[in-house]
Chain A
């Protein structure tokens, strides 16, 4: 059996991965909001000449993708020792971070509601059950 202390580096990797993937979602959504605010017809007409309007979109999406890629790398590090069926449901925590972030960040200003909050608490309970159920490390 692996000692509890040895699990911490993997828990830390999963934690980093969750925070990074939530950040990635928020940044990509910000990029898509920039895209949505553009007049697409005039953007397409101007494409051989100037693509300057698309710079904010590209910047947000690229920042999101960098976080996404970093999250994928830390995730793979964690998967080397965790069962996929155990590690993956922990990503549910990132949906909570995305919800809170989308509400708090004025650029996105999405709404809070009772059913959303109750749903998130249920997700948390489910995630807790999934993560505490069995021994986390593969025996090798």
Chain B
């Protein structure tokens, strides 16, 4: 049950990250900050990001209710991997070998943390 809640929280929080980036991408061509904020607020992606982060946060609160925050937080960083894969394959961002190495080291660190 704890792990189901973690996976649900992770998925919605990561989805929100992707949607936020899409919203920011769409607005980044605006010259002034005011226009940027206006574009962000008018963007459909922004509101899906908000809904997604609310759902993810509710699941996360359920996780925090059941687990120690120091036990739970290593799992949250697995979202990094989800977002990295999404930004590679969906947003088409390039990821250098050094970055991949860094990500692998992060994952080893997380594995150690979660066993503690």
Interface residues, chain A, CB within 8 Å of chain B? Answer: 25-26, 28-29, 31-32, 35-36, 61, 65, 68, 72, 75-76, 79-81, 83-86, 88-89, 91-92, 95, 98-99, 102-103, 108, 110-111, 113-116, 118-134, 140
Q: Are A86 and B109 in contact (CB under 8 A)?
A: no
- The answer to the question of B83 belonging to the interface, with a C-beta cut-off of 8 Å to chain A, is yes
Interface residues, chain B, CB within 8 Å of chain A? Answer: 17-18, 20-21, 23-24, 27-29, 36, 40, 53, 57, 60-61, 64-65, 68-70, 73-74, 76-77, 80, 83-84, 87-88, 91, 93-96, 98-99, 101-116
Q: Are A98 and B36 in contact (CB under 8 A)?
A: no
- How far, in angstroms, from A1 to B96 measured CA to CA in the complex? 19
SS of B interface (majority)? helix
Q: Are A123 and B65 in contact (CB under 8 A)?
A: no
Q: Are A123 and B70 in contact (CB under 8 A)?
A: no
- How far, in angstroms, from A114 to B48 measured CA to CA in the complex? 41
Given A28-B61, A98-B73, A122-B106, A85 contacting B36 (CB threshold 8 A) = no
Which of B104, B106, B112 has a CB less than 8 Å from the CB of A115?
B112
Q: Are B96 and A120 in contact (CB under 8 A)?
A: no
Which 9 pairs, one residue from A and one from B, show the smallest C-beta to C-beta distance? Answer: A122-B109, A129-B102, A126-B106, A119-B113, A130-B102, A126-B105, A119-B112, A133-B98, A115-B116
